Structure 1
Amino acid sequence: MDDDPRRHVLHAGFDRSAQDYERTRPVCPPRLFDDLVDVAGLVPGDRVVEIGCGTGQATVPLAERGLAVTAVELGSDLAAFARTRLAGFPATDVVTSSFEDWQPPSAAPPVDAVVAVNSLHWVDPQLRYAKPHQLLRPGGCMAVAGCVRVQAADADAFWTQVQEDYRAVGYEGDPPPAPERVSPRHLPAEARTLFEEVASRRYPFEVRYAASDYLANLATQSGTHALGEARSAEFLAGIERRLDSLGRPVLTVGFVALLTVARRLP
């Protein structure tokens, strides 16, 4: 979606379902956050800017590790939810703004890290790496993480059958790849004049969903929003009928979390 003109419209759609987003979105494993802090050389009290914090699913692990996080979130409902979750961390601040428009206080020193978890693709490509570079101190790090949906070869037959419901409404994208096909994600060419990659790692994990939570998760996804109101309703109704026919089973969903850490070049 790097240059998709729908980027801002689809991103804003997350704000309409903040509670479902918080309850059903996969969260990167704790080990990813441990590695992020270790590789970036962060210590308690270090200042971090987080791009697109959503409901604080990554902000909380960062704050729990003693970091002073300024979390920037476009959606007002998402930001409000994050503030509630982070009320016990006085060094953490949630700002309602797009990352593109947000500016630090004029007297604020450069930060030690910029972090984007499942969010960097929503940022204007012209600012995606240039603005973090401007915000960071010399030698500071940018960390980019996210979760990729995967499907093992021996996954339940439901996951193959449900592709009919995706095709029926023209849902964009391919079926999930096998876990072993998801490689660590490296720094793209356009960022290499600004940053030097220092780590790229992957973390397979699974999430178990009740049928109702899985449907709620699908409703929060940008691909579902992109269908428009009528087709998204048709899509979700079709999957619910399929789940009903199977007795609304608990679903095991595979993911691979990816982490890339890069150090700011002069």
Structure 2
Amino acid sequence: MNLDDADKRLLFDTIAEIYDLVRPRYPRSLIDDLEEACHLEGSGKILEIGPGTGQLTKSLAERGLNIDCVEIGSKLAGIARSRLSEFPNIRIKIGNFEKMKYKANYYDLAVFGTSFKWVDPKKRVPRVARLLHEDGYLVLIETHHINGGTKQFFIDSQTCYKLYDPNTSDTFQLPDPTEVITRKYEEETKKCFSTVLSRVYEQEVQYSTAEYQKLLRTYSDVLAMNEKSRKAFLDCIAEIIESKYAGYIKKRYLFELFVAKQKTSP
């Protein structure tokens, strides 16, 4: 199945419950730094684009912030609404951020939690800039897969990728933390925003065979496989974990917090 990003982003809604169960949570220290860098207070008005099942949203809601969310997936939004039902300061709309109407010069902060890449590159920065008031903030949180955890497993598993994903490079390997390219969108945002902060956080998560299979099912490239290839790929991964790693592996993540401030018009 050959899908562009506009189509791939819709696939996450098909596995909403699995996505909620297995995707890693953002570190608390990242949320603390976000709040401090953006000088947020309880009265702050936030627009969250692509909240998914509301994991980041809840962390912000617990700090008393007012948040408008827009999520393109109805099932993802449904889980988010259930998770956030106790917070009257949260509003969730289902729709396409690129087409929805919002008040101009209204928000203190626009935040994308691992969702910026799914928005049209020609529209995302100018649109956000129009919605933020003067001195408002743009926050991007990115998730990077890095070398660590059960290192040999990620070498062994390349056999499965090469069998079922023709785009797999013969020389692929996970990067060390120092090799991760951060501030990826700084060039794109600099016309409208000035960089305030770029900080990274490492986290290691253990997965059973079944949990790791579920995690892989939430990745866009695996979701885009046809059903037969996806099953064979996941079975291949499971065989390696069970036969070589006693049913458990550890995976290491690097989260990046990028904060930029709206430039004041001359």
Specify the alignment match of 2:220 in structure 1. 222
Q: 2:110 aligns with which of 114, 123, 131?
A: 114
Specify the alignment match of 2:132 in structure 1. 136
> SS where residue 41 of structure 1 aligns?
coil
Specify the alignment match of 1:46 in structure 2. 44
Instruction: Give yes or no for the alignment of 1:84 onto 2:82.
Output: yes
Per-residue deviation at 1:16?
0.7
Per-residue deviation at 1:179?
2.0
- Map residues 20-169 of structure 1 onto 2, 5 A cutoff: 20-104=18-102, 110-152=106-148, 155-169=150-164
Specify the alignment match of 1:232 in structure 2. 230
> SS where residue 101 of structure 1 aligns?
coil
Q: Gaps (5+ residues) in structure 2?
A: none
Percent identity for Structure 1 against Structure 2: 31
The answer to whether the 8 A contact 1:185-1:201 is kept is no
The answer to whether the 8 A contact 1:79-1:96 is kept is yes
> Within 2, Cα distance between the matches of 1:102 and 1:132?
12
The answer to whether the 8 A contact 2:242-2:248 is kept is no
TM score, norm. by length of structure 1 = 0.92
The answer to whether the 8 A contact 2:70-2:94 is kept is yes
1:159-201 C-alpha deviation (Å, 9 max, x unpaired): 2111111111125454321222225425432321111111111
What value does the CA root-mean-square deviation take over the aligned residues? Answer: 1.9
The answer to whether the 8 A contact 1:183-1:202 is kept is no
TM score, norm. by length of structure 2 = 0.92
> Within 2, Cα distance between the matches of 1:157 and 1:74?
37
Per-residue deviation at 1:229?
2.5
Per-residue deviation at 1:148?
0.5
The answer to whether the 8 A contact 1:28-1:146 is kept is no
The answer to whether the 8 A contact 1:28-1:147 is kept is no
Task: Give the total of aligned pairs.
Answer: 260
The answer to whether the 8 A contact 2:150-2:251 is kept is no
Per-residue deviation at 1:216?
0.3
Q: Gaps (5+ residues) in structure 1?
A: none
Instruction: Give yes or no for the alignment of 1:210 onto 2:205.
Output: no
One-letter amino acid of the counterpart of residue 168, structure 1: L
Per-residue deviation at 1:248?
4.8
Per-residue deviation at 1:157?
2.1
> Within 1, Cα distance between the matches of 2:3 and 2:157?
29
Per-residue deviation at 1:149?
0.8
> Within 2, Cα distance between the matches of 1:258 and 1:171?
29
Q: 2:179 aligns with which of 167, 176, 181?
A: 181
> Within 2, Cα distance between the matches of 1:126 and 1:116?
16
> Within 2, Cα distance between the matches of 1:236 and 1:220?
12
> Within 1, Cα distance between the matches of 2:224 and 2:216?
12
